[in-house]
Structure 1
């Protein structure tokens, strides 16, 4: 490794008496500062110095708002299904990748770009070592209950999906401004862990039946976003550019009995039939075993039903439809 990335002898001597401070007198900020420097030196021979570390408590919504959408977003896996997150900006990410691929940190500022799964893999070793040392430094302190047992999980595409994965609880947020290779780069890091902590070693584990009941209640109380897709059509660009409010879009009649239900990731989670109930448009989920296979070729020669392009008009004036649900029949 080059002289730029190795910690100097004086730096090692200066920190020699601090790496294993007594747990009772170790603050979480100090523990994280030491853990970051030690993990970078041990795993990458990289001189890393935390210039500033702050700590605060935020709920799930506050945490999602605090995350930068352009950062590399990672889920942390913890004890008993607990989850935390790590947010890494492009400067820190570039410093870690450069020292692994080129042997040194480039002094030029890294250009903005979209993080990838490869970036996440390059960060895994440093992250796991940091989390491990962070917990070891806090042994014997009250912080041990919430700091222990977390490791790299997986990359998440954006903050919206992150919100779907995180439990709606209070989180302990650490923000750190980091210096790499004596000023070659400066980057930002955010680490969030559940504030309440986990079951301490030696305490009685909750009964399996209680855990199952809690899980069931949590799942039933969660919300999922599902989009109903009535029909997708390919139209020429010049025709699409001329669309205006009030235009009618032709929809094949067969589409009314084969509405696709899509999750937030675009996967089809079910199919439904379009009808009406109490004077409003409604969907009835189809039984996969009884659903008829729709015709793949939906040509314009079919009988077409037309719907207005304004949802507000449809809700206000649903109009007559041939497809009605049995309980609406007189």
Structure 2
């Protein structure tokens, strides 16, 4: 080793000797940081595992509650039979009410609703029972996204702030329901109808109407329904936005035109479309087919008439609805207005 190299080594060790306290402190800090980092990661992992375990326990407890509920209702059906129908209704309402409030998963909620219907208690969702001094079951605020319901008839049922996103309704009928702030985006209707519904500020974007059952019944899907400030863009026949790739361009265009005509007829059977959003091609076709009827459906005065607004509040209602329509048209942002409504009324 050269004298120069030896000199450099000596200077390095001399520096270490002079600063050993600082180096020791740095080493200690590094050790603490590494230790804390490892400890934090360990705590975080434990917390995640604990959270997952709690979630699993909660779901297991809810499944057990559903099983106990089914058992209790089954026993009640045998006990009450037809001797005391009102007492049986009260029992089912009280047990169902508690259970529906306790469930946090849409799948379990759907199973309970299906069970209630399968045992001929769908009538308990009838909100007019309130006026008969009878309790009813409420679906207000329920998350029923990505679920399946089959063969149910809901009569005068109120759906307030209900989430039905991506769900599948088969042979389900809503007779004279009241829908407010309901999210039905990507909902699939299979022989399902909204009959005489009042649909207010609800999202039906990309709702698909399955081509099953009797095709002549398709135009009756929204029979006598009023859509007020609702989003009907992307309404389509079939399960997909895109048509079959096997069709050549000419056949594809003809099929799309035929589908539009069915959708137009479907909407001509509604009572009102006031303030609601439609795809431009569907709107144009309705104007071409029956301009007078289309103008009637989007008219405020006609809507106030079919909505049976009392004369006493006619002026106030006219002002409220026209102001809202102006805001929607001016902002060209229905979804933002929709989100504002959800934030205000559903949270």
Structure-1-length-normalised TM-score: 0.21
Q: Kindly name which structure, 1 or 2, has the bigger radius of gyration based on alpha carbons.
A: 2
Q: Work out which structure has the larger RCO, using CA pairs closer than 8 Å and 6 or more positions apart in sequence.
A: 1
- Per residue, is there more strand in 1 or in 2? 1
- Per residue, is there more helix in 1 or in 2? 2
Structure-2-length-normalised TM-score: 0.20
